[in-house]
Structure 1
Amino acid sequence: MAQINIEIAYAYPERYYLKNFQVEEGTMVQSAILQSGILQQFTDIDLRENKVGIFSRPVKLTDQLKDGDRIEIYRPLLADPKEIRRKRAEQQQKEAKIQKEAEKAAKKTKQEPQNEQ
């Protein structure tokens, strides 16, 4: 059987792992991950928990690889993106309210000296 070239990637916020290697044509994602040795190097990877993809598209461990594919192993999210956006929106609303109140107060103090004259 013919050999195909693939890559496997795993990233932390401060560093990443990228390995090029060859597997048999028709190799499944899980088999390539096992052959790569990445599970021995990064013991925090659990294929039952970590999602995998090829070029940012989710795939199953049983999907077959094609020449040039890059398998990406994704770490679990530390925070829910929806929750982060909600908190950011709340903070922006608070800041906008404070800004509005400051503008009203500045406008009011500007008008007071004019009324006294």
Structure 2
Amino acid sequence: MAGAPLRIEVVCARPGRAWRLTLALPAGATVADALAAADLPTKVPGLVVQEDCLAIHGRTAAPGDALRDGDRVEVLRPLLVDPMQARRRRARDA
């Protein structure tokens, strides 16, 4: 049904705590719209949302990506170490 509201979930996990917000957004909403509606920086202490740390159901997303009903927008933590460098370091140390 065109124009029906979208049910979207926005999630953010930090060590020791996770936040999950369920939103109803208009059809055509984007990841940026969901983030604005969730207003996570006021709920998650110290959170700075980075554009390269967003996902929809575990797949990389951009702020302008369109959402579909039932999508889960994930605010990810930035990587502290490049995964390839970490593997090399573990192999060298083994």
TM more than 0.5: yes
Residue in 2 that maps onto 1:39? 41
**Higher RCO, 1 vs 2 (CA within 8 Å, ≥6 residues apart):** 2
Contact 1:54 1:70 (8 Å CA) reproduced: yes
Q: What's the offset of the Cα at 1:39?
A: 2.3
- Structure 1 outlier segments of 4+, above 3 Å: none
- Match of 2:37, SS? helix
Q: Which has the larger radius of gyration?
A: 1
Residue in 1 that maps onto 2:28? 26
Residue pairs, 1:5-20, within 5 angstroms: 5-20=7-22
| Identity, % of aligned positions | 31
CA distance in 2, matches of 1:71, 1:87: 32
Structure 2 gap ranges (5+): none
Residue in 2 that maps onto 1:71? 73
Contact 2:56 2:74 (8 Å CA) reproduced: yes
Higher helix share: 1
- For normalisation by structure 1, the TM-score amounts to 0.69
Structure 2 residue identity aligned to 1:71: V
- For normalisation by structure 2, the TM-score amounts to 0.84
* RMSD of aligned residue pairs (Cα, Å): 1.6
| Offset from partner CA, 1:8-58 (integer Å, 9 cap, x none) | 01111322111112111111110111111212223422334x521100111
